[in-house]
Amino acid sequence: MGSQSKTTNDEIKSEDKAAAIVVSLGVEKASEIYKYLSEEETEQLTIAVAKLGYLPPETTESILDEFYKSCITQKVVTEGGMEYARSVLEKAFGPDMASDLLNKVSKSLQSKAFSFLRKYDDKTIFSLLHNERPQTIALVLSYMDSDRAASILTQLPERKRLRVVESVARMDSASPEAMKVVERKIESQLSTVMTTDYTKVGGIDYIAEVMNYVDRSNEKYIFDELSKKDAVLVDAIRKKMFVFEDIVSMDNMSIQRFVRDVDQKDIVFALKGSTPEVSAVIFANMSTRMAEAIRSELEITANVRVKDVEEAQQRIVGLIRKLEEAGQLVIAKGGKDDIIA
């Protein structure tokens, strides 16, 4: 019977558990909780409470017990760190329960790391970070969306930019203590700290995604300079990236798919600065009529700025990524030196 109750409890959605807790507290105490919620959270919780059906007493008791243990776990983790929390919880609930509680709380706290940055624009975040050490900047950027991280990265001075890219690429894990120090330093008013076990951050995959959003001029500079220090690292990053020249590695159906949606002017500008191989592949995957129109435009288009060529190529790459995310085409990752501009 106890096993059945536990299984049922595990299957209950988190918002329904929250609703059950609020209902159990009563109107007066529940109203105090709402004071600490955002408008969106208030709306979500209210809907969950309204939709909450009948729960057996043993299920409600199980939810409250889980909530109590989570509160205790978060308290001891925040006050004394993971090892202290583990020793306290093992004495209170045993090794298995302690491990389970710490895993749940770790995931919950991990999702909040540097969450305060979401309410700031890139310019404000840059002003917070630009005087920090490269390792610190790398850690923070690893918790941001790739496009925003790229925006901040390109605002840094050239030398620091290189060191940050290298730090992110070499990053594998960060200790809870390091998270606490960095978070408190950047946003001392926030009480939320990162208190998980060593957490996977940064790395080759992440910095490759960031570099996909960096403009071509900055990309070339960063890779050229970084190659002088560690050509193997640069090659590893490039192999995870997709750049305009990698179109030659795509299958014909995928090329035909993005060609249908691409702006004709972008193709003209992009081909002005592309390799013969890329041009041949693109022309081979468009209609005869479109190919003739593009060739005519290329003949009369002169004095195109390098910046305009790079921007057109980036827009095409952006379209390709968007279509890939939608599952409408497949892209092959680049990496060969002879196709990196």
pLDDT of residue 108: 55
- Angstrom CA distances, 133 to 88, 130, 224, 249, stand at 36, 8, 22, 39
Q: What is the pTM assigned to this prediction? A: 0.39
Minimum mean pLDDT among 8-17, 82-91, 124-133, 239-248: which range? 82-91
pLDDT of residue 102: 66
Judge whether residue 285 has pLDDT over 80.
yes
Report, as an integer, the average pLDDT of 23-40. 75
Average pLDDT along the chain: 77
252 and 335 in a common domain:
yes
pLDDT 10s digits, 98-113: 777 666 666 555 555 6
147 and 75 in a common domain:
no
Q: Please choose, from the candidates 158, 137, 157, the residue with its C-alpha nearest in 3D space to the C-alpha of residue 149.
A: 137
Count, residues in the chain: 341
| Cβ partners under 8 Å of residue 138, min gap 6 | 164, 167, 168, 171, 202
Report, as an integer, the average pLDDT of 65-79. 68
pLDDT of residue 176: 60
| Rounded Cα gap, residues 240 and 209, in angstroms | 8
Q: Please choose, from the candidates 258, 270, 151, the residue with its C-alpha nearest in 3D space to the C-alpha of residue 213.
A: 151
| Rounded Cα gap, residues 61 and 24, in angstroms | 9
Tokens of 114: 């540097």
pLDDT of residue 187: 67
pLDDT of residue 255: 94
Tokens of 188: 């001392």
| Cβ partners under 8 Å of residue 49, min gap 6 | 19, 22, 23
Q: How many domains does the chain have?
A: 3
CB 278 within 8 A of CB 248: yes
Considering the chain, what percentage of its residues have pLDDT values greater than 90?
21
265 and 211 in a common domain:
no
pLDDT of residue 80: 58
Judge whether residue 148 has pLDDT over 80.
yes
103 and 135 in a common domain:
no
91 and 17 in a common domain:
yes
38 and 21 in a common domain:
yes
| Cβ partners under 8 Å of residue 117, min gap 6 | 125, 140, 143, 144
Domain boundaries, position 147: 115-236
Q: C-alpha 204: how far from its chain's center? A: 13
For residue 149, give the CATH number of its domain: 1.10.220.30
pLDDT of residue 314: 86
218, 236, 254 — which closes off a domain? 236
